[in-house]
């Protein structure tokens, strides 16, 4: 019989969260009528996490850490991570524009996308944004664009090392038939990739990303090792150093079970050192593209319980946090389970054992008009009451920053918070709550008066 895993001690992160929930209630940020749902980012937690990332890598190594904008593309949040010494990885024209609006310089950006248009490529190369090419057809487009001198972009090929899938197939990008990158093991591809480098002096980088949540560290490290071996082969065939740098992507999984950072960035570096020792010798410049592991555990959502009821003997709490802010959890609860932390109407934790009565299995339902809108099913919690709060931790990445506009629900407010030495909490509004008027405005469908009938590259449509 296995030894029961001890419950984690209350961490600084958990203490700050508790203080923030209570302070948010007092400040009216979780008003039952006006703002029953809001999101919060822990500034001290973000600072701690980014500092741990920088410290995990060997001193003196030329490594540039970038934040994957898709994980939280709110411009004030991108501005926050820029302040902690990170660059930014973007995968669309919108994300590129958001990163520039946040103050990133083009040289701090990396463009990854499997479907870059000619105008996107032209603009990125003209500005000096790093570009990772996804396929042979895109490489031919880049050939035509880099013929014009003057671009300072570093250009690489995204390699699919085809090392296999993690536990969540949709989050794995190194399967045999992944849509991303040059399939390294497909017949003839390895030779074509080597020849592409030999024929193009400006092609100096390799890129790999094995996947994110559900991908164990040894799988990701195996993918990086395959690309390091490819870099060595290219250099050997060229008779000189041709591969200047390797972008190892992101993908450090996040622990959603408790407040611990597990695995840690040091675990990732140890796995890379074991599988691909040549990566850390200083021979290559390195780039990382982490997202979820930087912000997920430093954010949470809090919602008022609007109603409670029973149906078929099951207790149900109807809240304002549903599929519109937690789409992955609602649609794929086995892959994306979230903790649910209960608080009373004043924002004080309702931990089991602190009050009379046993916990009760309850469904935590969202506000959307379909039966499956549940963020938790049969969860054992103190029996919730109208006006109580439910907190969904570990949602600082992807959740509230990537809304699903089901039922035209407004996007919630996002607040950053800091806790001083006395326990006092100070909030800063990062994104105001959408109003109903905002919802109507973004769905009117009326083109602005200045709209042009031409496309972004000036071609008639």
Last residue of a domain, one of 265, 296, 327: 296
pLDDT at 109 over 80: yes
Provide the 10 A C-beta neighbour count for residue 204.
17
Looking at every residue in the chain, the average pLDDT score rounds to: 91
State the average pLDDT over residues 341-362.
Answer: 83
Residue-level pLDDT at 351: 72
The number of angstroms, rounded, from the C-alpha of 196 to the middle of its chain's C-alpha atoms is 32
Residue-level pLDDT at 166: 73
Q: Give which of 248, 281, 291 is closest to 156, Cα–Cα.
A: 248
Domain annotation covers residue 6 = no
The sign of the CA dihedral 105, 109, 113, 119 is positive
Look-up of token digits 């993908």: 251
Residue-level pLDDT at 356: 54
Domain annotation covers residue 458 = no
CA distance 222 to 228: 10
Q: Give which of 200, 104, 198, 110 is closest to 154, Cα–Cα.
A: 110
Domain annotation covers residue 94 = yes
Residue-level pLDDT at 215: 81
Residue-level pLDDT at 112: 95
Q: Among 147-151, 175-179, 286-290, name the one with the lowest average pLDDT.
A: 147-151
Q: Which domain holds residue 269?
A: 42-296
DSSP, collapsed to helix, strand or coil, labels residue 361 as strand
Domain annotation covers residue 3 = no
Last residue of a domain, one of 296, 317, 335: 296
447: confidence class by pLDDT, cuts 50, 70, 90: low
Please check whether residues 34 and 58 belong to one and the same domain: no
Domain annotation covers residue 47 = yes
Q: CATH number of the domain at 54, please.
A: 3.20.20.10
The radius of gyration of the chain's CA atoms, rounded to the nearest angstrom, is: 24
Please check whether residues 289 and 353 belong to one and the same domain: no
State the average pLDDT over residues 302-325.
Answer: 97
Q: Count of domains in the chain?
A: 2
Domain annotation covers residue 460 = no
CA distance 395 to 40: 9
pLDDT at 210 over 80: yes
Whether omega before 328 lies within 30 degrees of 0, making that bond cis, reads no
DSSP, collapsed to helix, strand or coil, labels residue 427 as strand
Q: Check: CB of residue 284 under 8 Å from CB of residue 244.
A: yes
Please check whether residues 31 and 87 belong to one and the same domain: no
Please check whether residues 114 and 176 belong to one and the same domain: yes
- Give whichever of 13-27, 150-164, 247-261 has the largest mean pLDDT: 13-27
State the average pLDDT over residues 38-47.
Answer: 98
Please check whether residues 194 and 184 belong to one and the same domain: yes
Residue-level pLDDT at 8: 42
**Token code pair at residue 353:** 């054992």
Please check whether residues 117 and 63 belong to one and the same domain: yes
The pLDDT tens digits for 382-394 are 999 999 999 999 9
Q: CATH number of the domain at 303, please.
A: 2.40.37.10
179: confidence class by pLDDT, cuts 50, 70, 90: confident
The pLDDT tens digits for 273-283 are 999 999 999 99
Q: Among 17-21, 115-119, 445-449, name the one with the lowest average pLDDT.
A: 445-449
Domain annotation covers residue 5 = no
Please check whether residues 274 and 320 belong to one and the same domain: no
Can you give the pTM of this predicted structure?
0.91
CA distance 166 to 457: 39
| Angle (deg, nearest 10), helices 75-82 and 93-101 | 60
The pLDDT tens digits for 53-104 are 999 999 999 999 999 999 999 999 999 999 999 999 999 999 999 999 999 9
**Token code pair at residue 33:** 């009528």
Please check whether residues 382 and 420 belong to one and the same domain: yes
pLDDT at 450 over 80: no
Domain annotation covers residue 105 = yes
Higher-scoring residue by pLDDT: 449, 115: 115
Please check whether residues 56 and 158 belong to one and the same domain: yes
214: confidence class by pLDDT, cuts 50, 70, 90: confident
Residue-level pLDDT at 170: 73
**Token code pair at residue 407:** 């039922």
Please check whether residues 316 and 233 belong to one and the same domain: no
Angle at 159 between CA 154 and CA 160, to 5 degrees: 155
Burial 162-173 (b: 16+ CB within 10 A, else e): bbebbebeebbb
Portion of the chain with pLDDT greater than 90, in percent: 84
Q: Check: CB of residue 361 under 8 Å from CB of residue 315.
A: yes
DSSP string, 152-183: ---EEEEEE------SSGGGB--STT-SSSEE
pLDDT at 10 over 50: no
Last residue of a domain, one of 296, 311, 331: 296
Phi, psi of 408 (to 5 degrees): 55, 40
Please check whether residues 84 and 131 belong to one and the same domain: yes
Residue-level pLDDT at 224: 95
Please check whether residues 193 and 221 belong to one and the same domain: yes
pLDDT at 357 over 50: yes
pLDDT at 5 over 50: no
């Amino acid at each position: 019989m296995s030894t029961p895993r001890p419950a984690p001690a209350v961490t600084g992160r958990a203490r700050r969260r508790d203080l923030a929930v209570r302070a948010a209630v007092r400040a009216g940020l979780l008003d039952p009528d006006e703002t029953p749902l809001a999101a919060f980012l822990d500034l001290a937690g973000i600072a701690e996490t980014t500092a741990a990332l920088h410290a995990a890598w060997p001193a003196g190594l030329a490594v540039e850490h970038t934040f994957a904008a898709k994980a939280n593309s709110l411009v004030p949040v991108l501005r926050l991570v820029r302040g902690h010494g990170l660059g930014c990885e973007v995968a669309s024209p919108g994300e590129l524009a958001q990163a520039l609006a946040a103050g990133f310089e083009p040289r701090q950006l990396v463009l990854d996308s499997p479907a870059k248009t000619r105008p996107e490529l032209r603009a990125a190369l003209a500005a000096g944004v790093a570009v990772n090419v996804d396929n042979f057809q895109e490489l031919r487009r880049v050939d035509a664009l880099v013929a014009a001198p003057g671009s300072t972009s570093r250009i690489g090929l995204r390699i699919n090392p085809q090392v296999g899938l993690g536990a969540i197939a949709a989050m794995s990008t190194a399967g045999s038939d992944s849509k991303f990158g040059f399939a390294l093991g497909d017949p003839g591809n390895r030779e074509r990739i080597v020849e592409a480098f030999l024929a193009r002096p400006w092609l100096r980088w390799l890129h790999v990303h094995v996947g994110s949540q559900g991908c164990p560290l040894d799988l990701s490290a195996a993918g990086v090792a395959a690309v390091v071996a490819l870099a060595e082969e290219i250099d050997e065939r060229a008779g000189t150093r041709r591969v200047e740098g390797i972008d190892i992507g992101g993908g450090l999984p996040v622990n959603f079970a408790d407040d611990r950072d597990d695995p840690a960035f040091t675990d990732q570096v140890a796995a890379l050192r074991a599988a691909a020792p040549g990566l850390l010798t200083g021979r290559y410049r390195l780039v990382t593209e982490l997202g979820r592991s930087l912000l997920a555990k430093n954010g949470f959502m809090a919602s008022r319980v609007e109603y409670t009821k029973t149906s078929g003997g099951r207790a149900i709490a109807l809240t304002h946090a549903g599929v519109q802010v937690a789409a992955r959890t609602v649609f794929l609860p086995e892959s994306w389970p979230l903790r649910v932390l209960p608080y009373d109407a004043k924002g004080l934790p309702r931990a089991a054992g602190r009050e009379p009565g046993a916990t009760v299995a309850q469904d935590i339902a969202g506000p959307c008009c379909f039966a499956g809108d549940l963020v938790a099913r049969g969860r054992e919690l103190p029996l919730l009451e109208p006006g109580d709060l439910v907190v969904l931790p570990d949602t600082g990445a992807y959740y509230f920053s990537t809304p699903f506009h089901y039922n035209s629900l407004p996007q919630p407010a996002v607040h950053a918070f800091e806790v001083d030495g006395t326990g006092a909490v100070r909030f800063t509004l990062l994104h105001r709550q959408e109003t109903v008027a905002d919802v109507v405005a973004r769905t009117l469908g009326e083109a602005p008066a200045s709209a042009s009938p031409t496309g972004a590259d000036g071609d008639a449509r």
